[in-house]
A and B are shown apart, each in its own frame.
Chain A
Amino acid sequence: MLDAIIKAYNEAVFETDKDAAFEVVAQALAAGMTPEDIVFNVVIPAVEEMMSHITKDPDANLAQHFMTAQIASAVTEKMLEKFQHPPETIGQLVIGTAFGDLHSLGKRIVIGCLKAMMVNVIDLGVNVPAERFVDEAIKHNAQVIGISAMMVHSAIGEEGCRKVRRILRERGLEDRFRIVVGGAPYRFDEQLYKVVGADGWAADAVNGAKVIVDMIREVKAL
């Protein structure tokens, strides 16, 4: 039965059909599958499947990224309410859009994927000052700070990632947090993340989620 459910669910995600995905989940529940099983054996593998698909397929598009994240986070949220015990999260991420930048879509897709992967996400919103990224990371005991930027000036300017890095250095916090960046300018110049002092980047949110999960594990292993 599980195989058929996985297949139907993956198809729905691939076709960006949210209603169909929920239908599959409802059928699975009715057939006796637990919410835990659905999240861990259907939803998370589907996100991972989508990751490898998007990496391999040059025609993968933004609509697919968006809906993958939307469907995964919506289903997970629904299932979490039904969990017997609160699930164990992998770790914490604070994420926001850089100072001077009001673009929110990239961040929203990243958050959707991470929620489904059991990462506890603290969304700081848009136009976030550098100090706030650090203060909130400390407050929430995060492992990773995520900074999204859609324009060159918010990506490489003095008030964005560069400043977050400087504050971490000045306060001796560089071992405690990793910085991950993303957004249009980094896609045009794949080396840009280094210039601004980030530890990593990703070209899209689905792969971004993977980078972030790896970073969380890395920091936790220290």
Chain B
Amino acid sequence: MTPLEILSAAIAGRPAPRIPVFCNLLDQGAWEMGVSQEEYYASGEMVAQGQLRMRGYYGHDNVWSLFYVGKEVEFLGCNKILFTEGGAPNVADFVIKSYDDIARLEVPDDITAHPAWTEIGTCLRILKQEVGATHPICAYITASTTLPALLMGMDKWMELLLTGPADIRDELLRKCSIFCQKQIAAYRAAGANVLIYSTPFGSTSFVGMKRFMNFSLPWMQKDLAAGGTAGIVYYCGMAPFNTVIRPVMSELGIGAYYISPMADLAEAKAIIGTKGLTCGVIDDIKMIRWTPEETRAEVKRICELGKQGGHFLFGTGIMPQALSDQNIKAMLKAAFDYGRLE
């Protein structure tokens, strides 16, 4: 079976030789290609080649069309990104500096015609051509309730969210939600089939249950209504969200859940069961100082907790560059070993 077929089998609960194994390597691609991060991320062809080479070398199932998360706000006017060699690029200038900027914020009509799409489009074209028929191609989409953090800074966004003015907050969210919907459509059309929907404010470690129900959930409904939930993975940026799996499942109909290493995986699997796909995720920050044996033991623990009854995937966070090659290999070997299904 191809990795794409293995993923479909895991989602549907059909027999397969093993669980799907996802490994999220992004910035490591620049090393792979022997260029600086800035050069790497300037070229969709580079990013595609980096992804393909890393997949070929390590043998995990998925490739990524994500450059870096800050890229999303380049569509909305941001043109200053801080590149560093040791880690991910960061948004270095906020598009929204005062509430007046919210009224001026413009969502491009056709995002695929925007210059920020050019290289993403190239990257996806290559990925689709090379592995589209056999491997999952992931895309990353920030939820409307989280995108403002990249547009105005997390602290300013928290303030607006919690203390208003409500009309200005909602105007911003409306624009972010439209952008989110356009991204979902564009990535799907370009060949991405796993859409990581990044929604930290959809976790009760960010807002209380009341605000989750009255605020986060309705906005997520808007984000997803037009495009449906095919291929959507619920992801709270690695924040735990077991408390909301039930309402997300019933109200949004999302089928896949990327469980935080800080959450109780057994509990999550018990809630999701055969109704969806549980993704068991390793703590790749702790992994930095683990020995390969320790890494292997943790993978074993995760797989054994999750793989009973199928509907399970093994995955990572956004793998830090500080991880050793040895540890990444140990992790993947263990995932293929312990992820075997009878």
List A residues at the B interface (Cβ < 8 Å).
Answer: 16, 18, 59, 61-64, 66-67, 70, 100-105, 108, 127, 151-154, 156-157, 185, 187-189, 191-192, 195
Contacts and interface: CB of A to CB of B under 8 A. Distances in A.
Contacts of B208: 59, 61, 63-64
19 contacts: A16-B162, A61-B207, A61-B208, A62-B158, A62-B207, A63-B162, A64-B208, A102-B90, A102-B92, A127-B82, A151-B88, A152-B87, A152-B321, A156-B288, A157-B86, A187-B262, A188-B285, A189-B285, A192-B289
A158 B87 CA distance: 12
Contact of A153 (B153, B206, B243, B320): B320
Given A62-B207, A66-B158, A153 B84 contact: yes
B154 A104 contact: yes
**Minimum-distance CB pairs A-B, first 10:** A153-B87, A188-B285, A152-B320, A153-B86, A105-B154, A105-B155, A189-B286, A108-B155, A62-B206, A100-B84
B2 interface: no
A189 B287 CA distance: 9
A17 B87 CA distance: 38
Nearest to A99: B84
A152 B204 contact: no
B87 A189 contact: no
Given A151-B88, A185-B285, A63 B158 contact: yes
Interface in B53-109: 82, 84, 86-88, 90-92
A127 B84 CA distance: 12
B283 interface: yes
Nearest to A156: B322
B246 interface: no
Interface in B192-208: 204-208
Nearest to B238: A188
Given A64-B208, A156-B288, 8 more contacts: A16-B162, A61-B208, A100-B84, A151-B90, A153-B321, A189-B283, A189-B285, A189-B288
Contacts of A61: 204-208
Contacts of A100: 82, 84, 86-87, 90
Contacts of A189: 283, 285-286, 288-289
Nearest to B208: A61
Q: How large is the interface on B (under 10, 10 to 19, 20 to 34, 35 or more residues)?
A: 20 to 34
A59 B204 contact: yes
B207 A151 contact: no
A105 to B, nearest CB: 4
Nearest to A108: B155
B211 interface: yes
Contacts of B163: 18, 70
A131 to B, nearest CB: 18
A195 B243 CA distance: 33
A187 B289 CA distance: 15
Contacts of B292: none
B132 interface: no
A101 B154 contact: no
Contacts of A192: 285, 289
Interface centre among B86, B321, B322 (most CB of A within 10 A): B86
Interface string B199-230: 00000111111010000000000000000000
B255 interface: no
A64 to B, nearest CB: 7
B273 interface: no
A157 B85 CA distance: 10
A144 to B, nearest CB: 22
Contacts of B253: none
B204 A188 contact: no
